[in-house]
Chains A and B, each alone.
Chain A
Amino acid sequence: MNLFETTVLRNVGASDDAEVSNAILARAKVLGMTQDAEDAVLRPKDFGAFDHDLRAALAARIAFLAGDEPLAAHYHANSKNYSALTSPSEKGISEGLDEVLSFVDKVANQTKDIAAEDISRLQASGVSDADIVRLCELVAFMAFQTRVIAGLRLMQREAA
């Protein structure tokens, strides 16, 4: 895997600064594993109730809410029929995904306020336990990826 073809480094951009480059190279294994994680979470073989297009739409929505428009655009490009859901103002009612979207938004952005009722509401709306775990992994991975990118951008900005 070319390190600079990973989603993280494509969104951060190459650095001219030797210290930033060395820090990135020192953790090349972690960045490669992060790309493997993106493949597993966004494009799994066993995708349950959430196909790859829908996962891309949810990832774009989460990136947008995290203030990362370039990353949101990266995922939006693969969201196909679900592209409307990438907008945080879209509730997903016509797609029957309103409970799923409100759960995704809350796990992403009001994590500490999540309670047992949030899970039982999803279960009552027909989402299986396996799909609840899949959904949490997707939101959780995006929390990680957006923050790695945001942190590296800060390092680059300092070096510039």
Chain B
Amino acid sequence: MTHIVTKFTRSVPDWRPRVVPVKLEDATPEQLDALKVTPSNTKVSDYVLTLAHDVESLSVRSPLFNAIMYDRGGMSRAERELGALGASMVNHCIYCAAVHADRHAKLARDESVTDELFAKGERADLNPRDRAIFDFSRKAAEAPPTAGPEDIDALRKAGLSGEEIFDLILSSALFGWANRLMHVLGDPVRQKETA
């Protein structure tokens, strides 16, 4: 038995699709290429198999995702994760929030920021730099976006460079994309513990 996870957590749940994923045995050569399936690597998640229904989008999104979250320079990886988390909390994507809160905690070697955010949301007690980053990410993710000049001012006052601010814009926006796949196409689930 499984239950749907409805509260923010750093413990990454499973993901159960709401549509039928592509079956690996039925995949086209183009889909297999996008899925990076090789004889030695046949493990593909249900999420990626779901996205394989639109293989052209999947093929361009994966490298874009990696470039925004991992390319060198600009904002630190931990702070990009905070940008991802701000958007994921606005869109209530429990799965994305779990993955990226967990990565933030590991990269920053600090669980207190994400503990605080999950406990108090917008009212979390954060240091000025994290506060400015989280607030910008959250407001940029709202629909329509509400981030304004005052939020850029706050980022500047917290010491962010232009390159860091653009990386934050990109990481928050990227999760505007990812959340609308993960949260819309499936449910975050966990096995019910048996006594």
Contact = CB atoms under 8 A, between A and B. Distances in A.
Interface of A is mostly: helix
Contacts of B20: 129
Interface residues of A, number: 58
Given A140-B178, A147-B176, A66 B91 contact: no
A51 interface: no
Interface in B148-189: 148-149, 151-153, 156, 161-163, 165-170, 172-174, 176-181, 183-185, 187
Given A22-B163, A23-B166, A27-B166, A111 B183 contact: yes
Given A66-B144, A151-B147, A136 B174 contact: no
- Interface centre among A22, A110, A154, by most chain B C-beta atoms within 10 angstroms, is A154
Contacts of A129: 19-20, 53
A39 to B, nearest CB: 8
Contact of B170 (A46, A146, A148): A148
A137 B148 contact: no
Nearest to B59: A40
Given A26-B163, A114-B183, A146-B145, A133 B176 contact: no
B113 interface: no
B177 A144 contact: yes
A150 interface: yes
B67 A136 contact: no
B39 interface: no
B53 A154 contact: no
Given A66-B145, A150-B145, A133 B169 contact: no
A13 interface: no
Contacts of A134: 53-54, 57
Interface string A135-157: 01101110111111011101101
B97 to A, nearest CB: 11
Nearest to A65: B144
Contact of B91 (A111, A130, A132, A136): A111
B1 interface: no
A150 B176 contact: no
B13 interface: no
Interface of B: 18-20, 50-51, 53-57, 59-61, 63-64, 67-68, 71, 73-74, 90-93, 140-141, 143-145, 147-149, 151-153, 156, 161-163, 165-170, 172-174, 176-181, 183-185, 187
17 contacts: A23-B162, A26-B73, A26-B166, A27-B67, A27-B163, A37-B61, A39-B60, A67-B144, A111-B91, A111-B180, A134-B53, A137-B61, A140-B176, A141-B57, A144-B173, A147-B173, A151-B172
